[in-house]
Structure 1
Amino acid sequence: LGSPQQKPKRLHLLVDVSGSMYRFNGVDGRLERSMEAVCMVMEAFENYEHKFKYDVSGHSGDSFNIELIRNDKIPRDNKRRLEILKTMHAHSQFCMSGDYTLEATEHAIREIAKEEADEYFVIVLSDANLERYGIPPARFAQALTINPQVNAFALFIGSLGDQAERLQRTLPAGRSFVAMDTKHIPQILQQIFTSTLLSSA
């Protein structure tokens, strides 16, 4: 499908490690789901480095760019993977409150496009808690679409009430997904990667 792949595809997974992830984990398991998603990505791309280069970074009230995995330092074993998950957990437990979703999204999109790649993906894992910080959905939609070359998506893995569904309705069609159950995440990731293949074919 499409032309043969010349260069690796680039993926940046942006995870929410803010205080609300830790605080509301008991309500809907959002932090666990986020950690499981990162674990899935680490396992799924093992031995595919020639086809896919990926980075994982976090954002919280402390910073919009918390490095978790760099594409030239991919965790090769379970011990290293566990360290990354522990870092995510500890950070969300002790970080300042605040929200850098917009800055983190725009930064990830700008940075990834600087490298030569076959295709660019940025996936933002979020708990849909933007309202609390006065961030209008339209502003988040704008952040996701600042570079048409980069396929950027939001994956909401936590929600108080119907927060995530409401937010999803206001974002551009096909750019956001809601996964309140971890088992839906692999299907969603697959959907993201195939949707761009089909649209560019």
Structure 2
Amino acid sequence: MSTDDSQKDAKPLDVRQLSVPLDVRAACRAGEERAGELPLSALSRCRDMAPEDGRLSYRIRFFEGQGVHPLAAEMAIEASLALECARCRETVVQPVASSSRLSFVFSEEQAEHVDAAAEPVILGREGRVKLLDLIEDELLMAVPLMPVHETPCGPIPPDRPYESGQLAEPVDEDGDENPFAALAALKKVPGKE
């Protein structure tokens, strides 16, 4: 993440502090800013994507916005994730970065009326949220749908026929001919469609 003078004022928190519910109203009124790093292994829903010693950088700035839903925040994260390549199924370490604007609301009905440029976050009655949950949600939304290696993947081993596109003809357990084999044979006969 870029460094500037405003980052000096951000309060770094350890993982335990990020798990304590934060009073969103008070944080927005005070214009609080939180930034730091945490191990990816601390995010329970993301552990299987964490490379060894993987870390995530985060920055959250709370503020009072304009309009119907004044409680808001800006969030940015950066991390490198160990994902499965969509081409070769081997591990690819892929950097991800995301930033978004959050709008805090108190009901599903209010969430429906949040500005399209913001992500609604529904708070409980107490108006509190765990920062660790916000960070983890942001990371999950940043995961690419089809991660691939930057360079072309090598050949796919023959012992992985599905990935190579070579599918074996299914055989009935009783040794009977596959009923679709007759259809395939008809398709191959010249002049028949």
TM bin, normalised by shorter chain, reads: under 0.3
TM-score between the two structures when normalised by the length of structure 1: 0.25
Determine which structure has more spread, i.e. the larger CA radius of gyration: 2
**Greater length-normalized contact order (CA 8 Å, ≥ 6 residues apart):** 1
